[in-house]
Amino acid sequence: MIYKFVKWEVPELDTLKDSKVFKLHELLTNGVKINQAHKDELYEMFRSSMTGGAIAKLGGYAFDFTKWTHLYYVEQYGSVYKRYAFNKTSIRKCEHGRLTRIVEVK
């Protein structure tokens, strides 16, 4: 799902068709598998969006990847965080520091 998340006027969604996040969303929507490098890149976008979900934000639009990701609890330095990712590999690769445990929520 792609939706506008800001109240002000933004360019049409068509202007973002050449962006990586739009292309990856389209690939997944069409049932195409993406490689691990793209999964890692999207995971970084999820972390930086500060939504707590599998959302990548661009140009006033939110690209929701929730239906293709899994929910994990990640323990690090005595704290537990909720993370959405395509797999544990992305979490291990993109999180900084020592991870004590990664548990998938089914």
Q: Given this model, what pLDDT does residue 40 score?
A: 95
Structure confidence by residue, pLDDT tens digits, 15-59: 999 999 999 999 999 999 999 999 999 999 998 877 778 999 999
Q: Given this model, what pLDDT does residue 87 score?
A: 96
Structure confidence by residue, pLDDT tens digits, 3-13: 999 999 999 99
Place of tokens 């990640």: 74
pTM comes to 0.86
Q: Given this model, what pLDDT does residue 9 score?
A: 94
Residue 52 to residue 62: CA distance in whole angstroms: 13
- Count other Cβ atoms within 10 Å, centred on residue 1: 11
Query: How is the chain split into domains, by residue range?
Result: 2-105
Residue 9 to residue 58: CA distance in whole angstroms: 14
Over range 54-82, report the average pLDDT. Answer: 94
Q: Given this model, what pLDDT does residue 106 score?
A: 87
Q: Would you place residue 96 in the very low, low, confident or very high pLDDT band (cuts 50, 70, 90)?
A: confident
Q: Calculate the CA 82 to chain-centre distance.
A: 13
Q: Given this model, what pLDDT does residue 17 score?
A: 95
Place of tokens 């292309």: 23
